[in-house]
Each structure stands twice: as structure tokens, then as C-alpha cells.
Chains A and B, each alone.
Chain A
């Protein structure tokens, strides 16, 4: 495809999607909707092709012979792995059939538990330890700089109360109901201040991201069309 063709198609499709701002008028609504359906069809196609070419095809190469094999386990071991995976895929399809429930459940158990285990190991080593360590570590130059001391303390208090707020929220909804201790209230509200602040910043950041993307689209429309 030449750049001109790409530009032209992009131009038309961009306008089709932007027609959304005009509301759901009889013809214009159809433009937007058509663009969305084109997009979904194409996403499905690309995802399918990438899943096949990016993973299944390499494994098909792998299990043929030693020359095309690329794993350290060797192609014979991979044959077992690959066909077990195929079996799992088949079980996915069999799920609605009651008679196989016990079998499919065992397969799903493997999938879920491995996923949960990976998430567990990652959360420990990648979030919990480093973040807690960073929050309780006292920077070297702290004593010299009063504002740095205040900031470090604020981050510490904010993190801890925020976390408390989380846990409190979780429990208040299930087991204990409303709690009225003044201390927990203070903790909860302090935590909430930090959480709402963080959410506000995330919201503002989302606005900035979408504005950046809008500026790119408008820039393209002007460059190509007007």
C-alpha cells in the first residue's frame, strides 16, 4: 500500500469515528457503527494471525525435528507439552457437556492455579517487598533537609493509612460492619484523602493521554485533508 492510500483510508475512517460527536442521526450513526465493526473484525483477524504465527507456528516448527527445534527441553519433550496443550484446548470446548465436568474442572484447576501461583510469586517479589522497602527506607541526606524529612514521613503515613483504608473497607463490608472507634475513623479518613488524591491524578493523567492522542488525530486530519 502506498502512503497516499494509507493516508486516504485513515482519513475516511477517522472522520467516520469522529462523526460520533454529531450524535445518532440516521446516516451518520451508521458511519460510526460501520467503523467499529470493521475495527472489531480486523482486531479478531490480526489477533488470530499473531497467535498462530507468533506462537503456534513456532511450536509446530519446534516439534518437527532437532534442526528446527528451539527449546532447551528438546523437541521430543515439547511434543508431549504441545499435545497436552491441545488436549486442554479441547477440554475448553467440552466444558458445556456435563458428563465431562470433573475432567474439565481438573484441567481448569491447573490453568487457574498456575496463573495464581505466577501472580503470587510476582506480587511478592515485584510489588510487596520492593514497595514496602522503599516506603520504610530512610534516605541518606534526610537529616540535613527538613522538607525531605516531611515528605518521606508523608509518603509513609499516606501509604500506611491508605492501605489501612483498603483493608478496613474490605472488612467493613463483610464481617464487622460499621466501626466507630475514633482512631480507626481518623486513619480511614486520612487514608481516603491519599487515595482520592491518587485517583484524581490518575483521572487527570487519563485526560492528558487522550488529549495527546486527539492532537495526533487532528494533526493528521489537517496534514492530509485540509
Chain B
């Protein structure tokens, strides 16, 4: 190879050469591959929809050699198969190995049929052999791993037909292996140190809130935080066990956040193993709250919908026929859920392992969404490409990326739920002298309380000991054998005839309520046509209204999307107002929370001005977080070591290349 060899402009082998014929005997049941000669320059048609021998395997393998195993490489290089191997130079040999690797039946199978687009579109840039990426990505050891996988799925081997002996990695005790051994040892050692001692606490922990410039993750958090018990959220688990170490954290947090507010997640996936894995995550959540008598039940608190095979095809079916998909769960039981379309769910949440998952959702699902936002999270590896979709499409909110963002998300979530508790308790004790006046009205509200469906999911009344902390009078009338009201609404004696200014949403599309009076501010909540909110203030020119939200916060809404009205309080609270849009300080609730002290779970009673949400904070607060900090430290040290390794290695190689070039120059 000359010095000028250009990794991107490398000319492919002659495509007119005869393509190899189907190898007899090896794929008896597999359809033949197309033998049409192809011009490598233009995108290729999908190869035959051959039988997928093992749909999960290629994912693993693909991680081992990112972006290289496009089937076209096989065609490009298969022409060299007829020549004796030794005649080829190093680069071609390695190319050939890669090419043969990608002609594995399972690779075709996966890509041919249901990753049609991926295959069609194998970007030219990624297809070029011998590029920078391949130089970096595919070590000899990895190629041998590929060989092993090929052996397993019964594909033809690179070399001779003998499959018995495949070398896994270079021999341990050879001179050439020394840098590799040292590198491996150092990398592993550095990544392990934080687990041994807390002295290696390099770097800061992730922030407790997303950086102010990152509107996507903040908006995503706020939206999920606005769920109410009637809401359904479609949660797509688009990652398998390979990415469990990275994405379980965020998937679990999303699920906990959703169920803690008693919204119902509907779990789907186009990855078969991910469906099974999602069940494990639900079990994990259930184990963590088992002590409190809570648990998630399929068919009531969550649903796992049927499998969506075929990548883009399955997702298109989801978005076109959501009414049907939602009516049947995994294993064929009917769910009883009635939806017209995906726009009837409150949010679509998607957790992606690979950039293709994001692309499939952006292409097949997002364009079908009119009102429902798609909230996206991904691992680091998918982020550079996935972020483009989050930035470019209005329907997509995000991206929450990787383990560090999961930590921040957890911090926000726990602070928020702990805040609810603390606020409630402070208010309970602080306003003790004010409360007797309100208690008088309590019996009147018991009737309203009885209608609350929320009370059903708390532990039975008999299990509740008398309140240990009693900010409210202990004389609260409570029939001994009926269900204990956990939250009692106590409207204060406000003049309900007082006129207030409200805005009613008139825009037919979903309207965004933001933190400040510009479109650049974070989104706090979404509103539909007909929703009403009380006006607190307007901005200077009156183009934005500052409004009171149901959760006690205030937000801003654009004036052109709403109509201003004057209503009496009774009217506002009664008919016209949006169910959740209430004035936060107009009501006081008695609520019970559970708290863990000294390993025992104790109920506490609070008087609270929070809205009735029926939140179950255990789901959020009872996570096992013991591994988080050492893992974050390990990632920091590991990254640092990687940086040093890469820098050092490349400097050495660059210097030796320079010296070689000099020597060549002298010789000439």
C-alpha cells in the first residue's frame, strides 16, 4: 500500500467479476443470495429475504465492528475468494475476512428482511473498506470472535472448511502481545479502583439538574412529571441485554416515575429479548416496594403489548393500527384498552440502544403523531445520530443520554418527591393552629372523598396504625371498618363568587406551557383546546400570560393560542375548567405517606396543599442506589485512562510513521 492510499477513496475490486455461487450444503434451507452484479456506487436493493437464523446475534456482532458489516462488503470482496489467500496483501486479507464475515446467513437474514432500509442505505462512507473506523474498530481478536459466531450459526469459515479450531485471541505469551496485555491490564485496573477504595474519587458527580442549555432533557422530565392517574404512556424498550448495563437505569427511572403517579405504562418493543427483559425490570421495581404492600400488576398497573417484529414494518404497524395493537397483550390476552390512535396516549417514551432504533421510530412513528410527543432516551453510542432527530423534529423531545443523565434524572425525581413529603410535613406542623377552622368542613367533603378511585390501591384500613405524627386533629371521623380516606379535600372558605381572569386554550393543536415568556424556555406542561387556567400576570406587551398550573407552579402560555375570559370561581372550578387546573392554594388535603425509618415502614399523615395526585413515592424513593457513585467514578477513571492510552499509542505510531517516511525520503 502506498503512503497516499486514501481510506475513503479506495477503489473497490472489479464488480464485473463473477459473484460466488451459492455454497452447497451449508445453507440448505436458506434461499440463495442474488447473483446480480451490483454497482457499488449506488444504494443496493435488499438482498433476498432469507431466513433469519438468529435475529439477535448480529446485534452483538455489529457492536464489535461498528458500521462495517454491511452486506455490500461481502459482494465487493467475494471476488477474491477464488485466489489463494496468501497472494493477497494484508489489507485485502483482512477485508476478505470481514467480507466473509458479513456474508453470514444471520447477517443477511436480519438485514435482508426487516432491516431493509438499513441495508439499502448502507452509507457509502461506512462501507468503504480500510477506513479510519476499520483501522480502529476491528482488531484481529474481534475478527476471531466473529469467526466463532460464524461457527455457531453454521456459516462458511474464512479459511478452510475446518471449524474445529478457531483461535480466540492472540497467544498470551508472545512479544507482540505485550502492549495489548499491558493496555488491557491498565484499563481494567483503573476502571476497578473506585470499587476498592473511595480514595479514587476523581471528578464531580453529575449535576442535580440538567444543564440550563439542555432544554430537551428538562422538558422530558417536566412532561413525565405532569402525568395524572388517567394517563397512558407508551413505553418502547428498544434495547436488549447488551445495553442493560447502560440503559436499565434510565428505563427503570422512567417506569418508576410513570407508575409513581399512577399513570399506566404500555410496554412495546420490536426486539424480542427486550420484551422479556422489560418483565425483569418490572419485577425489580416490585421487589423494591414489596415491603409496603405495593406491587405492579399486569393488566392493571401496566401492560406488555404484543411483539412488533420486523423493525420498521412492525413500528409502522404500531403507528397505523395502534387501536388493534393496544387491544391485545403479550400471550394473547385481551387488554380491554380502547384507543383510536397513538394520539390517544399521553406520551410515547422510547429508550434506544442503537441509532437505527431512533431512526426507525422517527421515520415510522413520529410522523404519525399529531398531538402526542415522543420522549427519547438513548445510550452514548446512539446519541450523536439520535440527537439530530431530537433537534430537528418538533414531535421528539429529548435526548436523555446514558448513565450520567440517568443519575441527574434520579436526583431530580427524588428531590421532587422528597420535596412533596417535606412540604407536606412542614405545612402540616406549621399550620397546625390554622387547621381547626378547616376541619369543621371536613364531613362535607367525606362524601366527595368516597368517590375517589385512588383510595383503592392503598393498603387496607386494618393495616394502618394510628397516626404517629398527628398534625391534624386526631378526632378525624373515621369509621373503623371502612376504607381509610387517605386524602381529604378541604376547600377553604373562599369567596367562590369572586370573579377571576382566566385563559381558555383555543388552538386546535396541543399548546405548550413554558417556564418563561419565550419559545426558548423549557416546556413545563402541555394543554389541549378547552383547558382553562387562572391568569397571574402578563408580560410587558401582553403577548404571553403567566398562569397558575395544577401542580402549584406557574407557567407561561402564548397569547395567540388562548382567549381571555372572566369567570366566577365557582364556574372555573365547576364546569368549564380543566379537571386538573385548580388553584393550588384553594384546597388543603390530608394525605398519608409512608416513610422508611430504621428499616421499618411507618405511615405519616400530612396536611398538604398539594393537589390530589395519589402519588406513590415509594416507587421513586425505594431504589437501590448503592452502586451509582463508584460506577460514575469508575467511568471517570476509565475515560481518563482511555484518553491517555489513545493519545500515547497514536503519538508513538505517528512518530514511527514519520521516521519511516523520512527514511524512505533519504533512500530516494
Residues of A with Cβ closer than 8 Å to B? 3, 20-25, 29, 32-33, 36-37, 40, 43-44, 46-47, 50-51, 53-55, 57-58, 60-62, 68, 70-72, 92-93, 95-96, 104, 108, 111-112, 114-116, 118-119, 121-123, 125-127, 130-131, 133-135, 140-141, 165-166, 169-175, 192, 195-196, 198-199, 201-203, 205-220, 222-223
Contact = CB atoms under 8 A, between A and B. Distances in A.
Given A55-B307, A70-B328, A123-B363, A47 B152 contact: no
B152 A21 contact: no
Given A47-B55, A133-B392, A212-B245, A33 B272 contact: no
Contacts of A33: 148, 168
Interface residues of B, number: 114
B281 to A, nearest CB: 14
B170 interface: yes
Contacts of A62: 328, 332
Contact of A118 (B272, B313, B627, B638): B313
Interface in B355-383: 359-360, 362-364, 366-367, 379-383
24 contacts: A21-B184, A33-B168, A40-B149, A46-B272, A47-B56, A92-B31, A108-B31, A115-B114, A118-B316, A134-B392, A173-B40, A195-B125, A199-B133, A203-B133, A203-B136, A205-B383, A207-B639, A208-B635, A209-B246, A209-B379, A212-B380, A219-B195, A220-B627, A223-B626
A29 B168 contact: yes
B364 A118 contact: yes
Given A111-B49, A126-B367, A22 B172 contact: yes
A70 B327 contact: yes
A214 B635 CA distance: 9
Given A119-B116, A202-B66, A207-B639, 10 more contacts: A20-B169, A104-B31, A108-B31, A127-B359, A198-B384, A210-B381, A215-B245, A218-B195, A219-B630, A223-B626
A116 B49 CA distance: 12
A202 B384 contact: yes
A47 B272 contact: yes
B120 interface: yes
A205 B334 contact: no
Contacts of B245: 212-217
A219 B307 contact: no
B543 to A, nearest CB: 14
A220 B631 CA distance: 10
Nearest to B40: A173
Interface stretch (B7-15, B549-557, B572-580, B599-607): B7-15
Contacts of B117: 115-116, 119, 122-123
B307 A50 contact: yes
Contact of B381 (A22, A53, A209): A209
Contact of B402 (A116, A170, A175, A212): A212
Interface in B388-403: 388-389, 391-393, 402-403
Contacts of B519: 140
B152 A212 contact: no
A125 to B, nearest CB: 4
Contacts of A55: 306-307, 309
B667 interface: no
B125 A166 contact: yes
B363 A131 contact: no
B28 interface: yes
A131 B390 CA distance: 10
B41 A174 contact: yes
A219 B57 CA distance: 26
Contacts of B272: 46-47, 50-51, 54
